[in-house]
Chain A
Amino acid sequence: MSLIEIKNVTMGYEGVPVLKNLSFVVNKGDYLCIVGENGSGKSTLMKGILGLNAPIDGEIVYNNLDKSEIGYLPQKKMIQKDFPASVMEVVLSGCVKRKFHIFHNRYDREIAEKNISIVKMSNHKKRSFSDLSGGQQQRVLLARALCATEKVIVLDEPVTGLDPIATADMYSLIKEINRKGITVIMVTHDINSAVRNASHILHISDTAFYGTAHQYIHSEVGNKFLLTECPCDVCSHLPKRRGDNV
């Protein structure tokens, strides 16, 4: 069942396109990884899906989904280093949707507690967000994103800058979230783990590739970017193009 349809979308800033004529469909339960070089427009596309920026051309259709019901973990920008906020306050700020109430009620708190425990931060609820390690901060922001959605989550380079252990923790959390039925749309530079975890891959470049992770491995563009050799029959017969990349 399709959840988000990107139809011939062109996105850009002040009329200047950075992404042209892109089409693909995100189905319910998908784990879509978006790869591509820096500056290719991955974050811009995410902002389009979230409704933060409008497409210059084309349209984005949401089925049984309001765009404000999409959880979001932004690309790491300098969230102010010394911002005074506790872990609980940050996660609760993901619960600001739907019904309006002055202070967070018990229902919000229960959702926040649940998501804090999913990301294994229950022992740090009262700590200051700015005192946490990079990996812990990303987990807290993941919990905040989960508070804002029951359907889809958009993650923009969630593991960039994390150490290998924190990265592995983050990947297993995301996998677990996806298994629970939440659709995952993730921007990453880690192509190898993308093909391992994702159901679908979107590779943004001059000629965009969209297909299943399996199709991507065997595709020309995928073959070119993946550093590990694919030993299968199809690929070993493809002309070798990897050499210049390795």
Chain B
Amino acid sequence: MFDIFSYGFVTRAIIVGALVSLCASLIGTVLVLKRYSMIGDGLSHVGFGAITIGAAANLTPIYFALPMVIISAFILLKISSNSKISGDSAIAIISSSALAIGITVCSITGMNSDLNSYLFGSIIAIGRTDAVFAIVLSVVIISTFFIFYNKIFAVTFDEDFARATGTKANIYNMVIALLTALTVVIGMRIMGTLLISALIIFPSLTSMRIFKNFRGVIISSVAVSLVCFFIGMFISFGFNTPAGATVVLTNLLMFILFSIISKILKR
């Protein structure tokens, strides 16, 4: 069984995938509770557009995608906190446009063969640069999350109260948007553009079926996310199914399992 590790790309995929799962579950809880899930989804589409452009221009795709996604994160945050325009539809316009740009670029430049891997993820797509990036950014994401844990809870639970008592809510909202952008960028290649946002929201939705306090939800989300990732990866190797989709399906099963347990506990 363990001879799969003898391939460098498998080791890389597992390390990167586990880190992505960890980061996604942390940030996912906050996005779901702040009703920012749409931002995660929008960013993955922007990331897709940016990666195709980067690849077409012969840049290292991730170098190009990273700043693009970070800038978009701040724009999307601004849009969704502005009550004048309907945030959801504005985000939908941006994300479907980015998707359309990506698909067009792929077909013009004859990268159709890569399209599949961009959209649905690929474990062999993780190069050395991607792996190093993922490790560095994960450390940044995880440590930032825990350094600002209290503040993040405060602005998520009640932003007005947090601001009234001197917390710079705007800054922490930007931190949340930035962490989301970083998570999307490192997760996009392995999970795929269309699936990364599922990885972000699923573990926390699953955990909220059973856990009723914030810390419990965070810890459970991390555990659920990692367990689903490893189960998904082994199934994917065993049955030769696409990794990203298999991990998401495992998350779905876990969600159903938690829902059933919560029904039983309530009786």
A and B are interacting partners: yes
Q: Contact flags (1/0) for B208-219 with A, using CB distance below 8 Å?
A: 100111111100
Q: Which of A90-98, A158-166, A206-214, A231-239 contacts B (4 or more CB under 8 A)?
A: A90-98
Q: Number of contacting residues on A, CB 8 A?
A: 36
- Which chain B residues border A68 with CB–CB below 8 Å? 164-166
Once bound together, how far apart are the Cα atoms of A72 and B164, in whole Å?
Answer: 7
Q: If A74-B160, A84-B212 touch, does A89 touch B153 (CB 8 Å cutoff)? A: yes
Task: Please state if A84 and B214 are interface contacts (CB–CB under 8 Å).
Answer: yes
Give the Cβ gap from B263 to chain A, nearest Cβ, in Å: 15
Q: Is B154 an interface residue (CB 8 A)?
A: yes
- Which chain A residues border B164 with CB–CB below 8 Å? 50-52, 68, 70, 72, 148, 154
Q: Contact flags (1/0) for B58-89 with A, using CB distance below 8 Å?
A: 00000000000000000000000000000000
Once bound together, how far apart are the Cα atoms of A70 and B161, in whole Å?
Answer: 10
Task: Please state if B153 and A93 are interface contacts (CB–CB under 8 Å).
Answer: yes
Once bound together, how far apart are the Cα atoms of A53 and B263, in whole Å?
Answer: 44
From A47, A79, A80, A84, B213 is in contact (CB under 8 Å) with: A84
Q: Is B264 an interface residue (CB 8 A)?
A: no
Task: Please state if A96 and B214 are interface contacts (CB–CB under 8 Å).
Answer: no
Q: Is A59 an interface residue (CB 8 A)?
A: no
Q: Is B231 an interface residue (CB 8 A)?
A: no
- Which chain B residues border A92 with CB–CB below 8 Å? 150
Task: Please state if B149 and A103 are interface contacts (CB–CB under 8 Å).
Answer: yes
- Which chain A residues border B149 with CB–CB below 8 Å? 102-103
Q: Which of A27-76 contact B (CB under 8 A)?
A: 47, 50-52, 66, 68-72, 74
Give the Cβ gap from B122 to chain A, nearest Cβ, in Å: 35
Q: Number of contacting residues on B, CB 8 A?
A: 26
Q: Which of B161, B163, B212 has the most CB of A within 10 A?
A: B161
Q: If A72-B161, A96-B151 touch, does A86 touch B166 (CB 8 Å cutoff)? A: no
Once bound together, how far apart are the Cα atoms of A85 and B161, in whole Å?
Answer: 15
Give the Cβ gap from B211 to chain A, nearest Cβ, in Å: 6
Nearest CB in chain B to that of A73: its residue? B161
Q: Is B33 an interface residue (CB 8 A)?
A: yes
- Which chain A residues border B146 with CB–CB below 8 Å? 102
Instruction: Spell out A's residues near B (CB within 8 Å).
Output: 47, 50-52, 66, 68-72, 74, 79-80, 82-86, 89-90, 92-94, 96-97, 102-104, 126, 128, 130-131, 144-145, 148, 154
Instruction: Spell out B's residues near A (CB within 8 Å).
Output: 33, 146-147, 149-151, 153-154, 157-158, 160-167, 208, 211-217
Counting from the closest, the 3 A-B pairs by CB-CB distance are: A68-B166, A128-B212, A86-B213
For this complex, 20 residue pairs linking A to B, each with C-beta atoms less than 8 Å apart, are A51-B164, A71-B165, A72-B165, A80-B33, A84-B216, A84-B217, A86-B212, A86-B213, A86-B214, A93-B157, A94-B165, A96-B151, A96-B154, A96-B165, A97-B165, A128-B212, A131-B212, A145-B161, A148-B164, A148-B165
Beyond A68-B166, A89-B153, 15 additional contacts (C-beta under 8 Å) are A50-B164, A52-B160, A70-B164, A84-B33, A84-B212, A84-B214, A84-B216, A89-B215, A93-B158, A93-B161, A96-B151, A96-B162, A102-B146, A128-B212, A128-B213
